[in-house]
Chain A
Amino acid sequence: MVGIKRFTIGIFSIVLLFSFILNISIGAFSLSFNDIVNTFLSPLDNQINYQVLVDIRIPRIILSIFVGVAFGISGAMMQTLFKNPLADPSLIGVSAGASAGVVIFMMLGAYLPAIFSEELSSYIVVPFSAFLGAVITILAIYKLSTLYNKVAVTVMLLAGIAINALLGALVGLFSYVSTDEELRTFTFWTMGSLANGDMNVIYIMFPIIIGVYIFAIKKKVELNLLLLGEDEARNSGVNTERLKKLIILSVSLAIGVSVAFCGIIGFVGLVVPHISRLLVGSNHKFFLPLSAILGAFILVWADAIARTIIEPAELPIGIITAILGAPFFLWLLVKNRQNTLN
Chain B
Amino acid sequence: MFKVRNLSYKIQNKEILKDISIDIKSNNFLSIVGPNGCGKSTLIKTINRNLSDYEGNISLENKDINSFCDKELALKRAVLNQSFYFPYSFKAIEIVEMGLYSYSLEIKEKKKILEYIVDKLDISLLSQKDYQGLSGGEKQKIQFARVVAQIYASCEKQKFLFLDEPTLNLDIYYQYKILDLTKELVMDLNIGVCAILHDINQAYMYSDEVLMMKDGQVRHFGNTQDILTSKNILDVFNVQSDFVYSEKLNQEILVTHAC
Q: Which residues of A contact B (CB under 8 A)?
A: 1, 148-149, 221-222, 224-225, 227-229, 231-232, 234-240, 277, 281-283, 339
Contacts and interface: CB of A to CB of B under 8 A. Distances in A.
A231 B89 contact: no
Contact of A149 (B50, B90, B99): B50
A277 B73 CA distance: 32
Contact of B84 (A232, A239, A277): A232
Nearest to A221: B101
A236 B50 CA distance: 12
A236 B90 contact: no
A71 B135 CA distance: 35
Given A221-B101, A228-B98, A236 B87 contact: no
Nearest to A241: B70
A181 B99 CA distance: 58
A239 B70 contact: yes
B203 interface: no
A283 B87 CA distance: 12
Given A149-B50, A221-B101, A225-B98, A235 B89 contact: no
A228 B74 contact: no
A238 to B, nearest CB: 6
Contacts of B84: 228-229, 232
Interface in B62-104: 69-71, 73-75, 78-79, 81, 84, 86-91, 94-95, 98-99, 101-102
B230 to A, nearest CB: 37
Nearest to B84: A229
Nearest to B77: A235
B48 interface: yes
Contacts of B71: 237, 239
Which of B74, B75, B91, B98 has most A Cβ within 10 Å?
A: B98
A281 B78 CA distance: 27
A126 to B, nearest CB: 37
Contacts of A228: 84, 86, 95, 98
A281 B102 contact: no
B110 interface: no
B140 to A, nearest CB: 14
Going nearest first, the 3 A-B pairs with the smallest beta carbon separation are: A237-B74, A237-B102, A282-B88
A232 B146 CA distance: 11
A234 B50 contact: yes
Contacts of B95: 228
B201 to A, nearest CB: 29
B121 to A, nearest CB: 18
Contacts of A281: 88-91, 130
A281 B95 CA distance: 13
Nearest to B99: A236
B74 A236 contact: yes
A281 B131 CA distance: 11
B86 A227 contact: yes
B91 A1 contact: yes
B70 A283 contact: no
Contact of B90 (A235, A238, A240, A283): A283
29 contacts: A1-B91, A222-B101, A224-B90, A224-B98, A228-B95, A229-B84, A229-B86, A231-B79, A231-B81, A232-B81, A232-B84, A234-B50, A235-B50, A236-B74, A236-B78, A236-B98, A236-B99, A236-B101, A236-B150, A237-B71, A237-B101, A237-B102, A239-B71, A240-B70, A277-B88, A281-B130, A282-B90, A283-B94, A339-B87
Contacts of A283: 90, 94
Contacts of A227: 86, 88
B69 A231 contact: no
Nearest to A229: B84
Interface in B31-49: 45, 48-49
A277 B132 CA distance: 13
Contacts of B69: 239
Contact of A282 (B45, B78, B79, B89): B89
B49 A234 contact: yes
A277 B69 CA distance: 33
Contacts of A236: 74, 78, 98-99, 101-102, 150
A116 B236 CA distance: 73
B92 to A, nearest CB: 12
B248 to A, nearest CB: 41
Contacts of B79: 231-232, 235
Contact of B101 (A149, A238, A282): A238
A237 B73 contact: yes
Nearest to B91: A1
Given A224-B94, A234-B70, A237-B102, 11 more contacts: A225-B98, A231-B79, A232-B84, A236-B74, A236-B101, A237-B101, A239-B71, A281-B89, A281-B91, A281-B130, A283-B90
Which of A224, A235, A281 has most B Cβ within 10 Å?
A: A235
Nearest to B98: A225
Contacts of A222: 101
